[in-house]
Structure 1
Amino acid sequence: MQATAIGGVLEALRIGVGFLWTAAWAIIMGLTITSLVQVYVSKERMAGVLGDGDLSGLARATAFGAASSGCSFGAVAIGKGLFKKGAHAVNFLAFMFASTNLIVELGLMILLLLGWEFLLAELLGGVVLIAVMAVIVHLTLPENLFDDVRETLAERDRDAGVTEDPTCGMEGSDEYTLTTDGGETLRFCSEGCLETYRQQTASSGGWREELLSWGGWYRIANQYRKEWSMIWTDVVAGFLISGFVIVFVPQWVWNALFVQGDGLLVTAENAIMGVTIAVLSFVGSMGNVPFAVALWGGGISFAGVIAFVYADLITIPVLNVYRKYYGWKVMLYILGVFFVTMAFTGFLMELLFDALGIVPDLAGGETATEQTYFELNYTFYLNLVAFGLSGFLLFVYRRGLGAPGQYRDPVCGMRTDDSEPAATRDGETYYFCSRTCREAFEENPDEYATGRPMVTEGHDH
């Protein structure tokens, strides 16, 4: 019995890690493309981009979201900032969906793990879902519901002294602050966003000139690191959970949850149950793609799987964030609107794909347990290239090649200049990115004062 259990765990790990190996190059390449887009594609101010609740504003919100990828929690936090700035309810909801479901890295993962049919359903269905959601919101939105909540949210944040990160719109922190030449104190949500602001103010020239300089590649590397920091836990959890679900969940469980057979009622039940499982799964963002593979392997219908993939914005942890931000009424309204639109769109996609004769045939392929994941094939070579690219970006960031600021903060390693907080020890002057780092240095100088402050050679700006 014990040997059987150990064998099952090893097989689950083999499948989970195998899925990750299969999709690794796609994730890395997708995040690199996303970083390039976010660094070099100019955007209007967020609230202006989202505009009013008309078709033009909805289209811009969708496009902006697709170019602003992030995890579910990051999308919700940014959505809150957009909402506070006055974005229409339809548009900030569309932005959140697009930023978690219409992004490059997710599309590549779906293509590799589920097939082109699911990718087409994700992209086409994503547009349909946003359109359906917009119609439902316009027809059902209670009068003044969001306006009242917006005023309450803004007042609460003012009372609590909450300020927004000027680079991403998320909540700023006292730990990451910067004082401008005009005396304004800016607060950032993270070290990465603070450094992004420094890069934006220090950079000059167009994107072509930037890509020919270390400073331009440093900006990409910093954005790449930020993207990974948002999604890595969801990715790892999703792949590992999928392996254990495939190995340990017996077939009768899937048969009990999902009605088998043909017909509209069966398709509708599978779509509704797909969204329900997503709500309860606690797996969001890109982590739900390998989980969807487990569902597909269990014999769930096309509608159920694609509806599950859509539903990463209404998992229980994300719903709790809505509650904290907006209160119970808005949380329940968002849950209701997203649940209906996600289930309906999954249902609609199966009907459309069935009419076109392109619903994939599960019986025609290998199961997850039958597949051999680690072979000397195109995946191996693409992963070598992707890991090399990731290593290069990490090297650029860690070495601070082309980073703005002449000195390196001895505490956190960020670049800074002589206008920032400073401290002197044994005749040497050290410069810091923030008061927090200076205080950490002063509390334990022997830990950080290992030599002269590092000065950037060949400073680009």
Structure 2
Amino acid sequence: MLAAIVDGVLESFRIGVGFLWTAAWAIIMGLVVTSLVQVYVSKERMAQVLGEDDISGLTKATVFGAASSGCSFGAVAIGKGLFKKGAHAVNVLAFMFASTNLIVELGLMILLLLGWEFLVAELVGGVILIGVMALIVHLTLPENLFDDVRQELNRRDQTNGITEDPTCGMEGTDEYSLTTDSGQTLQFCSAGCMETYEQEVASRGGWRDELLSWGGWYKVGNQYRKEWSMIWKDVVAGFLVSGFVIVFVPQWVWNALFFQGDGLLVSAENAIMGVAIAVISFVGSMGNVPFAVALWGGGISFAGVIAFVYADLITIPVLNVYRKYYGWNVMLYILGVFFVTMAFTGFLMEELFSVLGIVPDLAGGQTATEQTYFEFNYTFFLNVIAFALSGVLLFVYRRGIGGPGQYRDPVCGMRTDDSGPTISFDGQTYYFCSNHCKRSFENHPTDFSRVHQTDSGGTRPQSHEHH
């Protein structure tokens, strides 16, 4: 008996780690792409445009969300910041869903672990879900509910001194704060975000200049680190839990929870139960994809699995965050709207795919226990490349956050000292992190020389006089 349990535990770890190994390069590459988009696609007017209660606002919310990857909690925190600044409720909900379901790394994971059919259902169904959700909200939204909540949220945050990090939208802390020349106090969630803000204030270079400098890649490395810090627990938990579920949950449990067979009733029940399992699973973000593999292996229908994948925004821990931010009424309203739209869209995807004849056949592939995960194949080499890229980005981040010197490169804003390239212009000396930034300055000195350079810890570095 003990030997069987030990063998089961080892097999659970083999499957869970095997899933993680299979998807590692996809997660890393996806997060790199996301980090580049986050850093170099301007979102300054996001809250303003998301205040539009129309198709245009909803479309922009979806696009912004897909370009603003994060874990479920990160998406909810950013959504709160947008909501406080005036974004319409339906656009905030669309933004949160897109930022957790229509992102590059999730799509690659679904493709590798579940197949192209699930990826198509995730993308097409995600757009349909947002449309259905918007329709339901417009038909059922209690009058003045969200306006009253917005006013109360702003009042409470002002009373408690809560401010959002201006670089990422997360909640700032007193530990990482600075005062601008205008006397405004800004708070940041981390030293990395505060450094990024100071760097952006001190720089005037375009994205091409920055991507050829230490400063530009520091921003990407810092964003990449923040992305990982938000999702790694969910990812690891999801992969390990999936292994144990596959090995230790007997088939009769799945048969008891999910109707078997064909027909509209079976699809509908499986979709509803898939969302219900997601609510109580405590696994959010990308961690629910390997869990979905376990459900698929247990014989759950296509509708149930895809509905489960949609539902990472209504797990119990995330619902508790809604309650803290907005109160019980709004939390229950969000739960009801998301539950109905997620279950309905999962059901709709199975019926649509059945008509098209592209519902995947579970019997046609290997089970998780039959698969060999660690081989010298394309996965191995892609993982080596991805891990190397990850190491480079983290090295650049560490170089930036601990960079020596009291000066700021006027092109990219990178912290630097007097050992690097310098230029004297108009009676002042300017210091650079690289020869590329120096050449950029030489080509357009009047554009960059407006920036003062000494880093005194504030938001306006002072210049260094040349004698």
Corresponding position of 2:18: 18
Does the aligned pair in 2 maintain the 1:31–1:227 contact within 8 Å? yes
Does the aligned pair in 2 maintain the 1:215–1:401 contact within 8 Å? no
Q: Which letter does structure 1 place at the counterpart of 2:67?
A: A
Matched, 1:27 2:22: no
Corresponding position of 1:46: 46
> What secondary structure sits across from 1:187 in the alignment?
strand
Mapping 1:210-221, distance limit 5 Å: 210-221=210-221
Instruction: Return closer, same or farther for 1:288/1:404 CA change in 2, 3 Å cut-off.
Output: farther
Alpha-carbon distance in 1 for matches of 2:45, 2:402: 27
Q: Which letter does structure 2 place at the counterpart of 1:61?
A: A
Alpha-carbon distance in 2 for matches of 1:402, 1:150: 39
Does the aligned pair in 2 maintain the 1:292–1:305 contact within 8 Å? yes
Q: How many residues align?
A: 416
Matched, 1:366 2:366: yes
Shift, 1:407, TM fit: 8.0
Instruction: Return closer, same or farther for 1:366/1:433 CA change in 2, 3 Å cut-off.
Output: farther
Instruction: Return closer, same or farther for 1:56/1:248 CA change in 2, 3 Å cut-off.
Output: same
Shift, 1:203, TM fit: 2.8
Alpha-carbon distance in 2 for matches of 1:10, 1:433: 52
Corresponding position of 2:88: 88
Corresponding position of 2:253: 253
Alpha-carbon distance in 1 for matches of 2:273, 2:187: 42
Shift, 1:45, TM fit: 2.3
Corresponding position of 1:396: 396
Corresponding position of 1:383: 383
Shift, 1:396, TM fit: 1.1
Does the aligned pair in 2 maintain the 1:19–1:113 contact within 8 Å? yes
> What secondary structure sits across from 1:400 in the alignment?
helix
Corresponding position of 1:312: 312
Does the aligned pair in 2 maintain the 1:202–1:404 contact within 8 Å? no
Alpha-carbon distance in 2 for matches of 1:48, 1:404: 38
Shift, 1:59, TM fit: 0.3
Instruction: Return closer, same or farther for 1:138/1:127 CA change in 2, 3 Å cut-off.
Output: same
Q: TM-score, normalised by structure 1?
A: 0.87
Alpha-carbon distance in 2 for matches of 1:255, 1:359: 20
Map Cα deviations across residues 426-453 of structure 1 (whole Å, 9 max, x no partner): xxxxx9969xxxxxxxxxxxxxxxxxxx
> What secondary structure sits across from 2:275 in the alignment?
helix
Alpha-carbon distance in 1 for matches of 2:106, 2:195: 26
Does the aligned pair in 1 maintain the 2:406–2:456 contact within 8 Å? no
Shift, 1:151, TM fit: 1.0
Mapping 1:95-134, distance limit 5 Å: 95-134=95-134
Corresponding position of 2:283: 283
Mapping 1:187-266, distance limit 5 Å: 187-266=187-266
Mapping 1:33-72, distance limit 5 Å: 33-72=33-72
Alpha-carbon distance in 1 for matches of 2:149, 2:171: 18
Map Cα deviations across residues 31-60 of structure 1 (whole Å, 9 max, x no partner): 000011111112232311312221000000
Shift, 1:405, TM fit: 6.0
Map Cα deviations across residues 259-317 of structure 1 (whole Å, 9 max, x no partner): 00110000000000000000000000000000000000000000000000000000000
Alpha-carbon distance in 1 for matches of 2:57, 2:456: 42
Does the aligned pair in 1 maintain the 2:404–2:416 contact within 8 Å? yes
Shift, 1:415, TM fit: 6.1
Say which is worse superposed, 207-216 or 237-246, in terms of deviation.
207-216
Matched, 1:272 2:272: yes
Q: TM-score, normalised by structure 2?
A: 0.86
Give unpaired runs (5+ residues) of structure 2.
Answer: 409-413, 418-454, 459-467
Map Cα deviations across residues 368-426 of structure 1 (whole Å, 9 max, x no partner): 00000000000000001001101111111122289696389xxxxx9699xxxxxxxxx
Q: CA RMSD in A?
A: 1.9
The alignment-based identity, stated in percent, is 84
Does the aligned pair in 2 maintain the 1:18–1:373 contact within 8 Å? yes
Map Cα deviations across residues 58-108 of structure 1 (whole Å, 9 max, x no partner): 000110011011000011111111111111110000000001001100000
Does the aligned pair in 2 maintain the 1:47–1:85 contact within 8 Å? yes
Shift, 1:182, TM fit: 2.7
Does the aligned pair in 1 maintain the 2:192–2:401 contact within 8 Å? no
